[in-house]
Every structure is written in C-alpha cells, then in structure tokens.
Amino acid sequence: MKIESYFLLGVAAFFGLIGIIYWVTSYEQAGTMMLIGSCFLGLLPGAYYLFWHRRMGNRLEDRPDATIEEGAGRVDAFPSSSIWPFVLGLGAFATVLAFAFGVWFIFPAAALIISALVGATLESRRGGTV
C-alpha cells in the first residue's frame, strides 16, 4: 500500500498547490473549493493507506525482493451474484427523486436502502442468497 498511498498523497499535494495558485491569481471561490475538494479526494484515502502500511508493514507487492512464487496460491473467495446492489441503487435513485418530487418520496427510498443493507449483510454472513 506504500506506492498507492504515495501516489494519492502526490495527487493531493498537486491539487492543493494548484488550488493555492488558483486562489491567489483569480480570487474565484467556486473553482478554489473544487480544487480543495479534489485535494481531499487524494488526501483522505492516501492517508488511510499510509496508516495501514505503517501498521501492517510491507505487502508482498511492496517488497523489491519478492518473487512470483511467493504470491502463488488461492487469491480469495469472490462473492456470487446478488440482487442487493441493484436494490441499493434503486434506493439511492429514489433518494435523488425526493429532491424533485417531494420529501414524502424519502420514505420508500429509505425502506429500499435499509432492506438492501440488511439483505447484503445477511447474505454475506450466511454465505448464500437471502
């Protein structure tokens, strides 16, 4: 995670520097806030990855002396197909529709989101379809 964290922190430093230069040269607030937001989009995951890299040490991918044979074997178990991401997407879409059609539309949206989260959690705990 060392390379990923340094890359994302570099992205954050770039957008932070560009944001400062942009503010000094233009005094325009909207573009400056977007550049600061882009800085945080690199800073938050970069700092998180750096935290875990320092806590766990080097992964196999981070070591220069690692061989291909060390990474052989079972990768991991991948989840099967599920309906719950689709239901969660419907709930998110219904939440956006609440801005257009009224606050009352948030109730079916919340029901969809909660049922999707509960269903996905139960499916991942039981190992099958729910």
Give the pLDDT band (50/70/90) at residue 79: low
Note the helical H segments in 74-126.
Answer: 84-101, 106-126
- In whole angstroms, what is the distance from residue 130 CA to residue 117 CA? 12
Indicate the angle between helix axes 29-56 and 2-26, nearest 10 degrees: 160
pLDDT at res. 20: 96
Could you tell me if 95 and 113 are in contact, meaning their C-beta atoms sit under 8 angstroms apart?
A: yes
**Calpha distance 37→16 (Å, rounded):** 9
**Residues 32-52: pLDDT tens digits?**
999 999 999 999 999 999 999
Claim: this prediction has a pTM higher than 0.75? no
Tell me the mean pLDDT in the region 65-78: 79
**Lowest-confidence range among 5-14, 77-86, 103-112?**
77-86
Please give the C-alpha separations between residue 83 and each of 78, 107, 118, 124, in angstroms, as whole numbers: 15, 21, 12, 12
- Per-domain residue ranges of the chain: 2-71, 84-126
